[in-house]
Chains A and B, each alone.
Chain A
Amino acid sequence: MNVYAPILVLGIIAAAFAVLSVGIAPFTGPKRYNRAKLDSYECGIEPTPQPAGGGRVSVKYFITAMLFIVFDIEIIFLYPFAVAFDQLGWFGLIEMVIFIGTVFVAYAYVWRRGGLEWD
């Protein structure tokens, strides 16, 4: 059996549990229709009509997501380097310093451009 197969087993158990919970919820609870109950919450007043998905979402979140990708990829490159660190010798270290240095330039650029400001 593959080493990844047990993950699938656990995943199936968790999925079964989650689906079952969501599935039985409508039957275990009461059902009393009330139009106001089905409105979305807006502090007790008529909810403001919204375009699907809440309309435009702030571009800041997008920037955060982009930055995350940049840094996450950096981390992904760092992991194999870290695992093989003892075998790579000075060559690996210097290569990695250059790599991190490049990412740092991007980081400094983002910082200076105000990409990390939140207000």
Chain B
Amino acid sequence: MNGLFGTESWWVVIAKAVLIFLILVIYTLFNIWFERRVVAKMQHRIGPNVHGPFGLLQSLADGVKLALKEDIVPTAADKVVYVLAPILATIPAFMAWAVIPFGPEVRIPFTDTVTPLQLTDLPVGVLYILAVTSIGIYGIVLAGWSSGSTYALLGGMRSSAQMISYEVAMGLAFVSVFMYAGSMSTADIVAAQAEDMWFALPLLPSFVIYLIAMVGETNRAPFDLPEAEGELVGGFHTEYSSLKFALFFLAEYVNMVTVSALATTLFLGGWRAPWPISLWDGANSGYWPVLWFLGKTLIFIFVFVWLRGTLPRMRYDQFMKFGWKVLIPAALLWTMAVAVVRRIRLDGGMDQQTVLIVGGIAVTLLLVIAFIPERKQPADDEEPAETDAFAGGYPVPPMPGHQETRPDA
């Protein structure tokens, strides 16, 4: 761990915190625009292109519009919790970014102060992210609970059940990364990947499991069941309007960026430059890494958008089944396999890297096969009762569960 953390002066910390906050807000506004433009491209549309250059200010305009909408608190709502819920969803979304490394140590312009491009680093960094993002789930479940509406309640329950289910698989996917890095600190994991290689390669199954889990965790398509427009109308935020709704929207997109940033940090070498750029000496110093980092994150955002533009929504039971019966055992088994193989290699066994990569590909294939959900045959109903379809002398439509009998039969 970098010795600078915990010894920096207040103004540096505050400046970095404000900067992270601003980057997140602006990046969110950009991502909303980005998603709309990319989806539009996939659908033969143009997308927002009016407000600002290339329509970049569209999301800002939407935000301002939301602020000018009436702030409604339904009569059936539990007022205090109803107001508190969006706040509770937003704060953890931002706080998770405290330990995400944006880049190496840099000199702050116009001063002599040197500081790492990371707010702080904890020995339990990733665990902290998991913990803090879990608090965000409270915001969602309380929003659903306090709205006093069936749809919101069900949406909230579904969201939270979904998030915690996929969090287990997500957490298991991290274990092998910690084994490789020997640390839970985000900065150390990035450093470990610089020495070794991007963990996405030797730990491909972990990476795949994490990718699936992160989509489930953020309630995005094809796992966007809580917001299934056709079923639950708007999900947990059905009753929210104005800036309270905007906060949920913001939190959702920040969470999307958070999981993408986490994927970048843990599996794609963090802020370090990707291969062709890394040949250039200055690639991993100064402020350049921020660009690589945001670029890698944007790739994940693109995947999110791509999935949304491509896939239909899964059904709730299929989705839960996939999480509990496929992802979790797969993640557990893979973790065990990594542990065993790594132990053998540490003891100087055979060429385990090859074994691991081959095994990884095998597990990935298994995962892909398991992804194809089977459909259960509905159980047969009991024998339907017979009724006379011509009772009373004229034909009546058969009622459910009844079989018609014709007078001439």
Contact = CB atoms under 8 A, between A and B. Distances in A.
B244 A22 contact: yes
B72 A22 contact: no
B90 interface: yes
Given A40-B149, A90-B343, A96-B339, 14 more contacts: A1-B13, A4-B122, A9-B17, A10-B17, A18-B87, A24-B67, A29-B242, A50-B148, A52-B78, A68-B168, A71-B328, A82-B179, A107-B328, A118-B321
A68 B217 CA distance: 14
A72 B169 CA distance: 9
Interface stretch (B2-10, B105-113, B275-283, B353-361): B2-10
A118 B158 CA distance: 12
Contacts of A5: 6, 13, 120
- Say what secondary structure dominates the interface of chain A: helix
A106 interface: no
A119 B317 contact: yes
B121 interface: yes
A78 B176 CA distance: 10
Contact of B98 (A7, A32, A39): A7
Contacts of B94: 10-11, 13-14, 17
A93 B339 contact: yes
B91 A83 contact: no
A86 to B, nearest CB: 6
A75 B243 CA distance: 37
Contact of B8 (A1, A47, A116): A1
A65 B167 CA distance: 12
A3 B119 CA distance: 9
B367 to A, nearest CB: 18
Interface centre among A42, A78, A82, A111 (most CB of B within 10 A): A82
Interface in A1-46: 1-7, 9-11, 13-15, 17-19, 21-22, 24-26, 28-32, 37-43
Contact of A25 (B179, B243, B324): B243
Nearest to A2: B6
A50 B76 contact: yes
Nearest to A67: B324
A9 B179 CA distance: 31
Contacts, number: 223
Interface string A86-118: 100110010011001000100100010000111
Contact of A10 (B21, B122, B342): B21
Interface string A58-71: 10110011011001
- Say what secondary structure dominates the interface of chain B: helix
A79 B149 contact: no
Given A17-B90, A47-B149, A93-B340, A82 B13 contact: no
Pairs A-B, 9 closest by C-beta atoms: A118-B317, A40-B149, A14-B94, A82-B178, A25-B243, A3-B6, A6-B120, A75-B171, A54-B153
Interface of A: 1-7, 9-11, 13-15, 17-19, 21-22, 24-26, 28-32, 37-43, 47-48, 50, 52-54, 57-58, 60-61, 64-65, 67-68, 71-72, 75-76, 78-79, 82-86, 89-90, 93, 96-97, 100, 104, 107, 111, 116-119
Nearest to B85: A22
B145 A53 contact: yes
A54 B150 contact: yes
Given A5-B13, A13-B18, A38 B75 contact: yes
Contacts of B247: 18, 21-22
Interface residues of B, number: 90
B83 A22 contact: yes
A119 B174 CA distance: 31
Interface stretch (B51-59, B262-270, B329-337, B395-403): B329-337
Interface of B: 5-8, 10, 13-14, 16-18, 20-21, 67-78, 83, 86-87, 90-91, 93-95, 97-99, 119-122, 127-128, 145, 147-153, 157, 160-161, 164-165, 167-168, 171-172, 174-176, 178-179, 182-184, 233, 238-239, 242-244, 246-247, 316-317, 320-321, 324-325, 328-329, 332, 335-336, 339-340, 342-343, 346
Contact of B165 (A11, A14, A68): A68
A97 B67 CA distance: 54
28 contacts: A2-B6, A5-B120, A6-B16, A6-B98, A11-B95, A13-B21, A14-B94, A15-B87, A17-B94, A24-B67, A29-B242, A30-B70, A37-B70, A40-B149, A41-B239, A43-B233, A64-B161, A68-B167, A72-B164, A79-B184, A83-B184, A85-B179, A85-B182, A85-B342, A86-B182, A116-B321, A116-B325, A118-B316
